[in-house]
Amino acid sequence: MELKFSTTKKERLDEFLRRELPDHVDGAAGQLSNSKIRRLILSGSVFVNGRECRRPAFEIRGLTKITVNFESEKFFYEKQPDDIDFVMTDSDVLFEDENLIFVNKPAFLPVEQTITGNRKNLHDVVVDYLWKRNPGLRNPPYVGIMHRLDRETSGVILFTKNRSANKAVHDMFEGHSFTKTYIAVCQKPEGGLAGDAGAGRGHFSARKIGDSFTVEMYMNRVSKKSEAGKWGRLSEKEGGLYSKTEFKIRGDYTYRGKSYFVVECNLFTGRTHQIRVHLASLGMPLLGDQLYGGDRADRIYLHAARLACEEGDLKFDVRSEFTLLG
Res 78: pLDDT: 53
Does 318 score more than 90 pLDDT? yes
Higher-confidence position of 274 and 177? 274
Res 198: pLDDT: 44
DSSP state at residue 104: E
Quick check: 287 and 183 in contact, CB under 8 A? Answer: no
Average of per-residue pLDDT across 85-111: 95
Q: What is the SS3 assignment for 139-173?
A: CCCCCEECCCCCCCCEEEEEEECCHHHHHHHHHHH
Does 323 score more than 90 pLDDT? no
**188-192: which pairs have CB atoms within 8 A and are 24 or more residues apart?**
188/259, 188/260, 188/261, 188/284, 189/282, 189/283, 189/284, 190/283
CB atoms within 10 A of CB 151: 18
Does 20 score more than 60 pLDDT? yes
Residue 41: burial class (beta carbons within 10 Å; 0-12, 13-18, 19+): buried
Res 55: pLDDT: 86
Which is it for the CA torsion 77, 68, 169, 214, positive or negative?
positive
Convert the pLDDT of each residue in 100-129 to its tens digit. Answer: 999 999 999 999 876 655 678 999 999 999
Rounded distance between C-alpha atoms, residue 120 and residue 34, angstroms: 23
Rounded distance between C-alpha atoms, residue 305 and residue 157, angstroms: 10
Res 204: pLDDT: 54
Rounded distance between C-alpha atoms, residue 160 and residue 225, angstroms: 31
Angstrom CA distances, 12 to 23, 40, 55, 82, 131, stand at 18, 14, 9, 34, 33
Convert the pLDDT of each residue in 187-207 to its tens digit. Answer: 998 765 545 444 434 345 557
Convert the pLDDT of each residue in 28-38 to its tens digit. Answer: 555 567 777 88
Taking each helix axis from N to C terminus, what angle separates 34-42 and 13-20, rounded to the nearest 10 degrees?
120
Rounded distance between C-alpha atoms, residue 304 and residue 315, angstroms: 18
Which pTM does this prediction carry?
0.73
Backbone angles phi, psi at 290, to 5 degrees: -70, -25
